[in-house]
Amino acid sequence: MPLSDPTACRVFDVQRFSIHDGPGIRTTVFLEGCPLRCAWCQNPEAFQRGVADALSPEAVLAEVLKDRDFYAVSGGGMTVSGGEPLLHLAPVRALLEAAKRHGLDTCVQTSEAVPQGHLAAVLGLVDLFAVRPEAHERGAAPRAHGSGP
């Protein structure tokens, strides 16, 4: 699947057995791209274009489902992170819908620096939104976010 395909998940990493990206044992899917350049960013590799693999939502979910038994016993599930995953609304929504069809708990890590309506478009598909509070501190944007792409 080419990166130019609008349905492609632009994945630069998949971290299995994650315990820091939501409750329980999780698989975290990291997507390329972010409009911010936060000084504290834990994933600056997300800023680079072209480092990701273009995968269908179904291919991503197949990887996530490998650890389904661990999610069940730990209260875990799938986390979608980045970069800013909600920049890629269509593939992320498709991935979340597929996860819900399989009964998975879902978490989205976001800065909320996305077009209006993107959060609402996935609201019923996300069990937990993990929002970086530093992104919303008064005066933080010009001081810490830097310039976008």
**How far from the centroid of its chain's Cα atoms is residue 92's Cα?**
8
Rg from Cα positions in the chain: 15
Q: Are 6 and 55 a contacting pair, CB within 8 Å?
A: no
Q: For 3-31, write each residue's pLDDT tens digit.
A: 678 789 999 899 999 999 999 999 999 99
Interaxial angle between packed helices 57-64 and 89-101, expressed in degrees from 0 to 180 and rounded to the nearest 10: 40
pLDDT confidence bin for 114, thresholds 50/70/90: confident
Q: What would the two tokens of residue 148 be? A: 């976008």
Q: Are 36 and 113 a contacting pair, CB within 8 Å?
A: yes
pTM of the model: 0.86
* Amino acid at residue number 124: G
Q: For 65-97, write each residue's pLDDT tens digit.
A: 999 999 999 999 999 998 899 999 999 999 999
The pLDDT value recorded for residue 42 is: 75
Q: Which domains does the chain have, with CATH numbers?
A: 9-145 (3.20.20.70)
